[in-house]
Amino acid sequence: MPPKHFLQFKDLSLEEYDYLFERASRIKQAFKQYKPYRPLVDRTLAMIFDKNSTRTRLSFEAGMDQLGGSSIYLSTRDTQLGRGEPVEDAARVISRMVDIIMVRTYEHELLQRFADHSNVPVINGLTDEYHPCQILADIFTFIEYRGDIQGKTIAWIGDANNMCNTWLQAAEIFDFKIHVSTPPGYDIEPKQIGLRNTSHFEDFVSPHDAVKNVDLVTTDVWTSMGFEAEAEQRNADFAEFCVDAEMMALAKDNALFMHCLPAHRGEEVAAEVIDGPQSVVWDEAENRLHTQKALLEYLLMGKVENS
Ligand code: CP
Ligand code: NVA
């Protein structure tokens, strides 16, 4: 049996997400009560970083430690991966020595090749195209605040990037709607990200129209890692896409605001929004820890009895 990977959001089913959220909730509760839970003793996670990270590294490393296992940080800057060792060879070797692997890299295709040659589960810690671990935490956070996400409407404002693509995949699984507003020339590519139909998203030219009556407003940096050469052009193209208080006021009164972080106040989001009462960004960041612990447990142990 090939190992079960988590490379794109659509790799898991609604039933598996329901299970993961139930486990994440219990794991979070135990953690808050200082109750030790160490099912992963003697298990090792290798984390390969080809791009910078604060939250992803910390949440995987702390999470693995809290579950009784250990983790190893590998950077392409100081491993043979950065000197041209074929990704297939690296996957074969690394997966013989550890139990599970997380990779943060550029092209998704590279991650797919790595996973195809790994004997153990591989988790996508962010690629140019997708960021499934973040959306796992985001939907868990939404449910904590507002209950079921099915039938709700979410506004995505800004770049059609890895976060946006992953929200779009999630909408099909959880059956919610996304209003997408991106500047001309930065459009979403539904076919390329494997969307089955168009009924779960709607394009809006105006970000103000996109946020009307939605349950959640979310955005991300205008220039993602790897696209720095375009930053100046992007700053000009995205100038009208800052989520500010005026824009938030068009959403439902109880609408939440999310951002995967790191954020640039005054660019994609105004300080008054990200630091305001509708923002749940700190819970969103913390929930990376709890949801990924549930994911690690599931990929390594399958379904466990609730404890
Ligand atoms: N949100 C997120 O993935 O943050 P890092 O880049 O700090 O890991
Ligand atoms: N879209 C951003 C997310 C960072 C967590 C990037 O890829 O840089």
Which runs of consecutive H residues, i.e. helices, occur in the chain?
14-32, 55-66, 87-97, 108-116, 132-146, 162-174, 207-210, 231-237, 245-248, 271-274, 281-301
118 lies in some domain: yes
User: How many structural domains comprise the chain?
Assistant: 2
Residue 80: closest CA among 66, 64, 93: 93
What is residue 259's predicted lDDT score, i.e. its pLDDT? 98
Burial class (CB in 10 A: 0-12, 13-18, 19+), 117: middle
Packing angle between helix 132-146 and helix 14-32, nearest 10 degrees?
70
Q: Is 161 in the pocket of ligand 2 (CB under 6 A)?
A: yes
pTM attached to this predicted model: 0.98
- Which among 98, 88, 118, 103 has a CA at the least distance from the CA of 56? 103
Active site residue 234: no
Chain centroid to Cα 73, Å, comes to 19
Give yes or no: residues 16 and 57 share one domain: yes
In this prediction, residue 69 carries a pLDDT of 98
Report the atom number in ligand 2 closest to the C-alpha of 225: 8
Tokens in use for 281?
């960004």
The verdict on 96 and 191 lying in the same domain is: no
pLDDT band at 244 (very low <50, low <70, confident <90, very high): very high
**Cβ–Cβ < 8 Å for 251, 214:** yes
Of 209, 203, 173, 171, the C-alpha closest to 188 is: 203
Average pLDDT over residues 44-63: 98
Interval between CA 133 and ligand 2 midpoint (Å): 12
% of the chain with per-residue pLDDT over 90: 97
Write the pLDDT tens digit of every residue in 102-151: 999 999 999 999 999 999 999 999 999 999 999 999 999 999 999 999 99
- 3 within a domain of the structure (yes/no): no
The finding on whether 220 has its CB within 6 A of some atom of ligand 2 is yes
Task: Give the three-state DSSP class for 48.
Answer: strand
Q: What is the average pLDDT across 59-83?
A: 96
Q: Which domain holds residue 187?
A: 134-284
One domain for residues 249 and 163:
yes
- Compute the distance between CA of residue 69 and CA of residue 49 in angstroms, rounded to an integer: 19
Q: What is the mean pLDDT of residues 30-58?
A: 98
Q: What is the CATH number of the domain that holds 101?
A: 3.40.50.1370
Which ligand neighbours the alpha carbon of 59 most closely?
1
State the pLDDT at residue 34: 97
CB distance 224 to ligand 2 below 6 Å: yes
72: Cβ below 6 Å to ligand 1? no
pLDDT at 287: 99
